[in-house]
Amino acid sequence: VNLIAQLIGSLLGAGLLCAVFPCEVDETKTVGTNIIDTRWGVGNVLVGEFLGTFLLCFVVWETAVSPVASCGKNACIAIGFAVFLAHVILLPVDGCSINPTRSFGPAIVGAIRNCEGMSTKGLEETLAQPINPISRKP
């Protein structure tokens, strides 16, 4: 149920972005779909996204979920820094997903919207990722 809700939320969020940013002003032409930069390979991105996601999950667990966590209301600061760090590192690599459901909505909605000059690479990479990310060519 949680996965379905996240996927639906991602689609709705991307739809709202389309309402705010028409094709003419959407610099990405893909509603912010994650696309692997040509300077990196799929293996590099897989490791980077794994590490960024692990960092975020670890920080959330240690600051907000663990019964021995002592930071209380300050957990959001540590979580925010983890998200910031992952984005600083991964934005130039692939747009920084660190949450596959976040990538799902923009890939689908961007393909449906089909702006002029849009690349379908993001949709292909998002849909192929859960199937077999290592077998794809960079």
pLDDT of residue 129: 54
Give every CB contact of residue 74 below 8 A, 6+ residues apart in sequence. Answer: 63
pLDDT of residue 116: 86
Query: Helix 121-128 to helix 100-113 angle, to the nearest 10 degrees?
Result: 140
Arithmetic mean of pLDDT, 111-125:
79
Tokens of 137: 């060519």
Between residues 29 and 6, the one the model is more confident about: 6
Distance of alpha carbon 51 from alpha carbon 96, whole angstroms: 11
pLDDT tens per residue across span 40-99: 988 898 899 899 999 999 999 999 999 999 988 999 999 999 999 999 999 999 888 888
Q: Evaluate if pTM is beyond 0.85.
A: no
| Beta carbons of 31 and 14 less than 8 angstroms apart | yes
pLDDT of residue 76: 95
pLDDT of residue 98: 87
Arithmetic mean of pLDDT, 26-49:
87
pLDDT of residue 137: 46
Closest CA to 14 of 80, 82, 110, 83: 110
| Beta carbons of 106 and 135 less than 8 angstroms apart | no
Arithmetic mean of pLDDT, 120-133:
60
Report the percent of the chain where pLDDT is more than 70: 90
